[in-house]
Amino acid sequence: VPVNVYKNKSPFTGKVVSTKRIVGPQATGETCHIIIDHDGDFPYWEGQSWGVMPPGTREKDGKPHSVRLYSIAS
């Protein structure tokens, strides 16, 4: 399994195809099923996590968004 192939300064670019909330409105947290189109160019295994850098900047200070980690599940 290749690890740490992409970095903040040389990221892989994919496209979010869909996002669907999969927990009820009374849930204490938010869990979503997110489908990302990577054209088959990004190897992954269940149990890994992806670091996602949202585009744009934060409203409060104009700095780039921080990396967010998402777990890969089946």
Residues in CB range of 21: below 8 A, 6 or more apart: 30, 31, 32
Contact 20, 32 (CB under 8 A): yes
For residue 33, the model assigns a pLDDT of: 92
3-class secondary-structure state, position 57: strand
Residues 2, 7: Cα–Cα separation, whole Å:
13
Domain that holds residue 28: 15-71
In a domain, residue 3? The reply is no
Cα distances (angstroms) measured from residue 56 to each of 13, 24, 38, 59, 62: 14, 29, 20, 9, 9
pLDDT of residue 27: 95
Mean pLDDT, the chain, integer: 88
CATH number for position 67: 2.40.30.10
Q: Specify if 41 maps to a domain.
A: yes
Does residue 2 belong to any structural domain of this protein? no
- What total number of domains does the chain contain? 1
